[in-house]
Amino acid sequence: MGAEVPVTTLDGNRLTARVPAGTSSGQKLRLRGKGMPRLRGEGAGDLYVATRVTVPKELTPRERELIEELARLRPDNPRTER
């Protein structure tokens, strides 16, 4: 599904980062030109943002039903793939 999330840069500005669908927890996103200013004042380096995917600890009955339906539709089992 992906998402758009707010990110605060090193200089305090806020921007929106686009997180692509399928992004895993711990994966790093590069925001080009949004990092530290370059030594000689020509632009800025890249800012790297580490992702953290959170999973709900409790589900409503409807949420559980939807997840179980999705599991039936997907033939792969992520627990068995390495």
Q: What is the dihedral of CA 49, 24, 18, 72, to 10 degrees?
A: -170
Q: Judge contact between 46 and 38, C-beta under 8 A.
A: no
| Any domain includes 33 | yes
Domain count, the chain: 1
Say if 16 falls within a structural domain.
yes
- The span from the CA of 42 to the CA of 30, in Å, is 19
Q: pLDDT per residue over 11-37, tens digit each?
A: 899 999 999 998 999 999 999 999 998
Q: Is residue 43 part of a domain?
A: yes
Containing domain of residue 43, as a range? Answer: 3-55
CA atoms within 13 Å, Cβ hemisphere of 19:
20
Can you tell me which residue has the tokens 């996103």? Answer: 29
Q: Residue 72 domain-assigned?
A: no
The reported pTM is 0.69
CB atoms within 10 A of CB 34: 19
